[in-house]
Structure 1
Amino acid sequence: MGGRSIVAAASYGASFFHIARTHLLPALLPLVAASCLRIVGHAVSAEAGLTFLGLGDPTSKSWGMLLNRSMSFSGIYFTDFWKWWVLPPLVALATLVVAVAFIARDLEKLVNRKL
């Protein structure tokens, strides 16, 4: 599936759509999927960070909003139960971002054997 097969297909009169479907897409789709997974990890952490700072939609339900509400509760530090307000959304957010990063890394290793 190298450049020679594309040149050979074009010299036999293959259309652009045939070349793209049979030669380009199978090589590009795994790379695009790995890049999209990396973008998903960044987007989730950015959304949680912005909503934690109070810049998100206050009616939405997200881990950043849970952290925002738990940290802004005035009586949270007077008891030992503060960790149960903060830790579950923080652990869930970190687990999701790390899991997506590992999946993207392994998908990229599957696609690119040189890694």
Structure 2
Amino acid sequence: MKYQPECKFCHRLTMNVDNQEFNSQEEASEYGTLNCNCEEAKANQVKLKSIKKLNEYIDNLENSFQDNNIELSEEIKTMLKKIGMHVLEQDCIISYNFPPLKISFSLNKNGNLVISTVFTESKKTQL
């Protein structure tokens, strides 16, 4: 059976310019949605791009602070990814404090995810 790529939002048929073979209508619809220009599809494309960047950023976060000996467990990374996803879905601001690292998630006016990281080093000495 030949599946037709169509946008899952506006249901407009899309040309399969890559001549891809689809194994299901869902797969064809995903292709159609990624190649559609309707507003909902564009917003979905921005969201998918943000999710990909979020995952890459969190996976490489330790490298940014290598000199400061910050190690993030897989559980912390998973939680940070979930926080980022929540911000993308709910359009809110969330800050997480993991001393000496503080990380904040928010959306800008274009709907892009913004992640701020602050490393604070404080020393306390008792004399």
Fold match (TM-score > 0.5): no
Higher relative contact order (CA 8 A, sep 6+): 1
Could you state the TM-score of these two structures normalised by the residue count of structure 1? 0.35
Largest Rg, 1 or 2: 1
Larger relative helix fraction: 1
The structure that is strand-richer by fraction is 2
The TM-score, its normalising length taken from structure 2, stands at: 0.32
